[in-house]
Amino acid sequence: MKTVQEVMTTQPAAVTLQDNIYEVAVKMRDFDTGFIPVVDSETGRKLIGVITDRDLVLRGYADKHSGSTSVETVMSKPVTSIAENASVDEAAEIMASGQIRRLPVTRDNELIGIVSLGDLAVKRIFADEAGEALSDISQRQLH
């Protein structure tokens, strides 16, 4: 069974409490993502929150906060995360039950990656294709 570590995105972009929401928006644009984890420092990377593009809009700009507003104002916490050695099935269950699209991956509470619905979908597609191919091969050998 595959683990989260095998399908996750490694070294994700992150921000700290020292950053503002404008800097978050720029990172989202530059990294082509709608999800930025908030860590305690660039070196320690202890996960303390997350910011989604929705958080920026609803808690940031819709509430008339300026770009210089602290990330703490708009970030979501507490954060659901998963250990790197958890199975992809476990990640899928957590994501489904919590309606979560992206799940931070941690080692000793430090951010090491992110697993997304897309990561899980690609894994399952390959597994399904492999199973289908094996079934086709087996049927051909029987005839």
Q: Dump strand ranges (E) for the chain.
A: 9-10, 35-39, 47-52, 82-83, 102-107, 110-116
Q: How many domains does the chain have?
A: 1
The CATH number covering residue 49 comes to: 3.10.580.10
| pLDDT (0 to 100) of residue 129 | 44
| Total Cβ atoms within 10 A of residue 108 | 7
| Total Cβ atoms within 10 A of residue 71 | 24
Distance (Å, whole) CA 47 – CA 104: 8
Q: What is the mean pLDDT of each run of 10 residues along the chain (143 residues)?
A: 90 94 96 95 89 94 89 93 93 88 94 90 54 46 50
Task: Tell me if 138 is assigned to some domain.
Answer: no
**95: which residues sit within 8 A by CB, 6+ positions away?**
101, 103, 117, 120
**111: which residues sit within 8 A by CB, 6+ positions away?**
12, 14, 37, 39, 45, 46, 47, 104, 105
Task: Tell me if 26 is assigned to some domain.
Answer: yes
Task: Tell me if 143 is assigned to some domain.
Answer: no
Distance (Å, whole) CA 26 – CA 71: 13
- Residue 85 sits at φ, ψ, to 5 deg, of -95, 5
| pLDDT (0 to 100) of residue 29 | 96
| pLDDT (0 to 100) of residue 41 | 86
Task: Tell me if 111 is assigned to some domain.
Answer: yes
| pLDDT (0 to 100) of residue 123 | 61
Task: Tell me if 142 is assigned to some domain.
Answer: no
| pLDDT (0 to 100) of residue 139 | 54
Domain interval for residue 112: 4-116
Task: Tell me if 133 is assigned to some domain.
Answer: no
Report how far apart, in Å, the C-alpha atoms of 114 and of each of 8, 59, 104, 133 are.
Answer: 5, 23, 4, 30
The helix/strand/coil state of 117 is helix
CA 47 to chain centre: 12
Task: Tell me if 41 is assigned to some domain.
Answer: yes
